[in-house]
Amino acid sequence: MNGPAPPAERSGEGWPGRAAAPLDEVDRAIIAELLRDGRMSVRTLAEHVHISRASAYARLTRLIDDGVITGFTAEIAPAKAGLGTSAYVSVTIEQNSWRQVSARLREIAYVEHFAMVGGDYDILVLVRTPDNAALRHMVLERIQDIPGVRATRTWLVFDEARGRGAEWGKGPG
């Protein structure tokens, strides 16, 4: 290739098989602390990871600018917030309709998360609704009405728990 790589290629974003730059021990410690308490000040963060406030601010800015940290949010107890029905909806779509279907899914209320997956289904959607009637409306009249959607299958969630996730305070491996 002649000349500099396009910006997306330099950052690894958008190019299959390109991994992000590795995180060092301090970056991982910053992520671990923010996952534990995303509301902590930069000063407190610096104290917890044993670096200067200026270094913590610079690293946090870099992690945000690099897209490693994509935002800060509150964790909500869905049932206590009025969303008593949760379900996973698998979606089968027409070939090459991922972009259009994903754009429409982003617009539907109660869709909390969705991912393109490999296997018997194409998309797995996590939905949280106030009740079964709202879930029925969302699946049968919103998701199934999206052009490109061929079929859906719904699994009610009876209980859920968080796993450990990655151990960000430690190095890879």
Q: Tokens standing for 92? A: 């089968």
Query: Is residue 83 domain-resident?
Result: yes
Residue 22, CA distances (Å) to 19, 63, 150, 156 in order = 8, 11, 39, 38
- Summarised one tens digit per residue, pLDDT across range 80-125 is 999 999 999 999 999 999 999 999 999 999 999 999 999 999 999 9
What's the whole-number mean pLDDT along residues 135-153? 97
- Specify whether 104 is located in the same domain as 136: yes
How many independent structural domains does the chain possess?
2
- Specify whether 132 is located in the same domain as 92: yes
- Summarised one tens digit per residue, pLDDT across range 8-53 is 444 445 555 556 668 999 999 999 999 999 999 999 999 999 999 9
Half-sphere exposure of 173 (CA within 13 A, CB side): 4
- The DSSP symbol for 130 reads S
Domain residues for the domain of 40 are 25-66
Given a contact cutoff of 8 angstroms between Cβ atoms, the answer to whether 53 and 42 are in contact is yes
Query: Residue 93: which of 123, 115, 125, 136 has the closest Cα?
Result: 123
How does 58-77 read in b/e, with b if 16+ C-beta sit within 10 Å? ebbeebeeeeebeeeeeeee
- Specify whether 35 is located in the same domain as 97: no
